[in-house]
Amino acid sequence: MPLCTGVADDPAPVASLSDAITLPPPDLEGPLSLEEAIAARRSIRSYTGEPLSTADLSSLLWAAQGITDANRGYRAAPSAGAHYPLEVTVAIGDVEGIAPGTYRYYPDGHRITLITVGDHRAALSVAATGQQSIADAPATLVISGVYDRLRVRYGDRAERYTLLEAGHASQNCYLIATSRGLGTVAVGAFDEGEVQEIMGLPAGEVPLYLMPVGRIG
Ligand SMILES: Cc1cc2nc3c(=O)[nH]c(=O)nc-3n(C[C@H](O)[C@H](O)[C@H](O)COP(=O)(O)O)c2cc1C
């Protein structure tokens, strides 16, 4: 049962600060140059079985949608008119210090809040044509779009722009994963309704990409 859900245009407000887990600041230095990360990036579907750290989770979420310009609220991935139609939720199975469940990422404050309790990785894998990468990964990021956030300004280009933005966020996840010795893969083959239900997403928040992430040997 969802513990808290929001409406699409306005994700669930954090009920109280105690409900939120503030993530450590993202690492802003890594062992690889950008060029090395681009050259080494691959879709990786099998993982060692080790947990992710909160630092890993922090960097992945920051790369996907974190705030990189605190004054203007601009984020790591570009957005049409800076309207930010993307949401990132994460199905956590095995991340050190964080109980299994689905969580919503809030760029403001770099924190996550619980949506649904429990380890949903097996269900998420079934919803994604049984893809083993999702069952095995310690965590799977779900990049979703709220088309209505762009509709007033961009009309029937709202969906196109949102999908383009999901590509930017996904590529950032790939590159930060590569830099941290993690593997990920952009998964597009899944049942939208089932993923929405498992993740506890509100109506109007459409899952676009699943990104299972795990450590590689
Ligand atoms: C839109 C899109 C959907 C994809 N869906 C899946 C998927 O459902 N499962 C999967 O394992 N890989 C998926 N991939 C990853 C591709 O299979 C992968 O990018 C391709 O084989 C090239 O390998 P590389 O990413 O290592 O360069 C998808 C990639 C894109 C761009």
pLDDT per residue as tens digits for the range 36-73 = 999 999 999 999 999 999 999 999 999 999 999 999 99
Q: Measured from the CB, is residue 40 less than 6 Å from ligand 1?
A: no
Domains assigned to the chain: 30-215 (3.40.109.10)
pLDDT at residue number 18: 52
Q: How far is the CA of 42 from the centre of ligand 1 (A)?
A: 9
Q: Measured from the CB, is residue 38 less than 6 Å from ligand 1?
A: no
pLDDT at residue number 66: 98
By CB atoms closer than 10 A (0-12, 13-18, 19+), residue 85 is buried
User: Could you tell me if 23 and 111 are in contact, meaning their C-beta atoms sit under 8 angstroms apart?
Assistant: yes
CA 133 to chain centre: 16
> Does residue 2 surpass a pLDDT of 50?
no
Q: Whose CA is nearest to atom 7 of ligand 1?
A: 187
pLDDT per residue as tens digits for the range 168-210 = 999 999 999 999 999 999 999 999 999 999 999 999 999 999 9
Mean of pLDDT values over 5-13: 41
pLDDT at residue number 186: 98
Q: Measured from the CB, is residue 157 less than 6 Å from ligand 1?
A: no
Q: In which band, very low, low, confident or very high, does the pLDDT at 12 lie, cut at 50, 70 and 90? A: very low
Q: Whose CA is nearest to atom 29 of ligand 1?
A: 186
pLDDT at residue number 19: 76
